[in-house]
Amino acid sequence: MFDSIQDTTIRSDAVLYNAVISSLCKRGKTDRAIDFFAYMVSSGCMPNEWIYTILIRGLATDGFVKEAQELLSELCSRGALRKHLMRHFGIA
């Protein structure tokens, strides 16, 4: 999957990454979603709050609570956590 995205001349954006990460998490492939997230960030595409939300939910669902908390902390430190997401995560 990474190779096909790297080989394309189409600029990947947050919408594409969101779709791929969401699909991976829904299929229980959270480890692959995290790898894809790291690739996304390294390629210069900044994740939005929805990508964080998808990953946090996927990690928590698959039992990776510590990793989910770390991503939530990262999201909060960026100041990108909106009030409706704070309520969703039970921190507001």
> pLDDT of 9-43, one tens digit each?
445 678 888 999 999 999 999 999 999 999 988 98
What CATH number does the domain containing 15 carry? 1.25.40.10
| pLDDT for res 16 | 86
User: What's the domain range around 81?
Assistant: 2-88
Higher pLDDT, 92 or 3: 3
Q: Does 88 or 48 have the greater pLDDT score?
A: 48
Q: What is the pLDDT of residues 64-84, one digit of tens each?
A: 999 988 988 887 777 666 655
Nearest to 34 by CA among 77, 6, 66: 66
Amino acid 92: pLDDT: 46
Per-residue tokens: 45: 């595409």
